[in-house]
Amino acid sequence: MTKKEILDVLYSERNRLMSMYTRPGWTTWALVGAIASLLWIMLDLYFRASISWIYSVAIYFLLYNIYVCGGCLVISFKNDHQPIWQKYEFTDRIKLVYAFIIYAVQLLLLIIHKSFFVGGISEVFYWFSIVFIAVLLLLFLLIYLLSFIPSLRTQKNNRWGGFLGLFFLLIAVTWGIFIIREHNFLDEGSIKVGLLLVAIGLLMECFNISTPSKLKKLDNLINKVLYENYIDEDAVMSELEKCMIGLKYGDYLMNQNYDYISKWTRYLYYNLLTLNDSINNSTGYNDTIHSVIHDSMKRIDNLQPVVHNVLKMIKLGYDETDVDPKLSPLLRVMQDSIDIIGIWLEIQKKTSEYNFEDFGKFVNAKMQEADIIFKKNNINNE
């Protein structure tokens, strides 16, 4: 790619990231304001009524684990393997620390209130939860330490989502048992505080603290490309992958190229129809035939480099065995484009090798090939 094309990729990703970061209602200040309002309401409830904080926290942990369980189940049903541009980065350390604190507090409270789980099935749930949370904390700690070793970054593995979801559901049941045994009646104030804690927790997860850092790194990369004479394309793309993991490169490729390639591929197809009709209505070469061929060659000169550049960008961003499924329409239309361009190049070559009658037969045969291509993929109806 040229320097301009590399910069186009970088600027496009920056604009996409900025639009997400500043979307109405979800800015940092809006989230801070919402959290502060909920905290104020929670404190007001505390001073107005007698609140059992352990009961409220138990409600929060019950719903939090159900929420995590649901997330695990959703992940388990996703069969898409994320490509290099959408790898899960272990270095999302803020969320790791947040999760570590949440489960460390759960473990501590369960140990303190062990007396609520004596005997029967409740004790089974209790010990299971204790063991699983302890293992989970060790796992969080290990992941945090490994996050400092870039070579150990890996892709998400969705196979264990449902299995882990079951564990979190059992922890939720443990907290449900605690709530039942803590009170034999509904404590309205404590329930409200518990629900407010859930709302605050969900809003805190909406913070994208890493976005300003990503924007800063991306700006540095753009400056590097702007002011260096020699640009190593592979190095730039690798640097983008390292500092901007999570950016949806596939979306950029689709948005920037699909409509353009699809439009001009259809145009070449219709030009082939026009050429075939002109030949059938003529007894020799005329200005219309030459004009259609000349116009098509001009379009190919513009379209062909775009198709080749997109293929290069896909190879840079993805492993050949693990391309983003969302790119399937783009790959399909690019293949059609390559095929139709090939047909046109053959037609141009044959204009000097065949007499008009043979040329007409050749064009008619190529028209049938094009019909098969376009009817198979339904491109001409898009």
Select from 317, 296, 186 the least CA-distant residue to 241.
317
Same domain, 79 and 207: yes
Report yes or no: 317 and 83 within 8 Å, Cβ to Cβ.
yes
Whether 353 shows a pLDDT value over 80: the answer reads no
DSSP assignment of 229-247 = SS--HHHHHHHHHHHSTT-
What value does the mean pLDDT take over residues 286-298? 90
1-5, 169-173, 215-219: range with highest mean pLDDT: 169-173
Q: Residue 80: its pLDDT value, please?
A: 45
What value does the mean pLDDT take over residues 265-276? 91
Q: Is residue 228, in this structure, part of any structural domain at all?
A: no
Q: Is residue 344, in this structure, part of any structural domain at all?
A: yes
Q: Is residue 236, in this structure, part of any structural domain at all?
A: no
Q: Residue 105: its pLDDT value, please?
A: 92
Same domain, 372 and 254: yes
161-182 and 93-112 are packed helices; what angle lies between their axes, rounded to 10 degrees? 40
Angle at 290 between CA 287 and CA 294, to 5 degrees: 135
Of 185, 213, 241, the last residue of a domain is 213
Return the higher-pLDDT residue of 246 and 290.
290
Which has the minimum average pLDDT: 14-28, 72-86, 230-244, 250-264? 72-86
Whether 92 shows a pLDDT value over 80: the answer reads no
Domain count, the chain: 2
Which has the minimum average pLDDT: 51-65, 210-224, 351-365? 210-224
Q: Is residue 219, in this structure, part of any structural domain at all?
A: no
Same domain, 303 and 348: yes
Which has the minimum average pLDDT: 38-47, 177-186, 232-241? 232-241
pLDDT band at residue 329 using 50, 70 and 90 as cut-offs? confident
Same domain, 174 and 292: no
Q: How far apart are CA 283 and CA 271, in angstroms?
A: 19
Q: What average pLDDT does the structure give for the chain?
A: 77
Q: Residue 91: its pLDDT value, please?
A: 42
pLDDT band at residue 341 using 50, 70 and 90 as cut-offs? very high
Report yes or no: 152 and 73 within 8 Å, Cβ to Cβ.
no
What's the token pair of residue 237? 């793309």
Return the higher-pLDDT residue of 178 and 252.
178
Q: Residue 243: its pLDDT value, please?
A: 59
Q: Residue 130: its pLDDT value, please?
A: 93
Same domain, 360 and 293: yes
Give residues with Cβ within 8 angstroms of 319, minimum separation 6: 83, 84
Alpha helices in the chain (DSSP H): 3-21, 28-48, 53-76, 93-112, 120-146, 161-182, 188-205, 210-227, 233-243, 249-280, 287-317, 328-350, 356-377
Percent of the chain whose pLDDT exceeds 90: 14
Q: Residue 300: its pLDDT value, please?
A: 92
Q: Is residue 30, in this structure, part of any structural domain at all?
A: yes
Q: Is residue 233, in this structure, part of any structural domain at all?
A: no
What value does the mean pLDDT take over residues 67-85? 63
Of 159, 191, 213, the last residue of a domain is 213
Q: Is residue 235, in this structure, part of any structural domain at all?
A: no
DSSP assignment of 18-53 = HHHHT-TT-SHHHHHHHHHHHHHHHHHHHHHS---H
Same domain, 193 and 266: no
Same domain, 287 and 348: yes
Same domain, 260 and 340: yes
Range of the domain at 347: 249-381
Return the higher-pLDDT residue of 247 and 345.
345
Q: Residue 15: its pLDDT value, please?
A: 77
Whether 237 shows a pLDDT value over 90: the answer reads no
Same domain, 302 and 194: no
Q: Is residue 244, in this structure, part of any structural domain at all?
A: no
pLDDT band at residue 298 using 50, 70 and 90 as cut-offs? very high
Same domain, 115 and 254: no
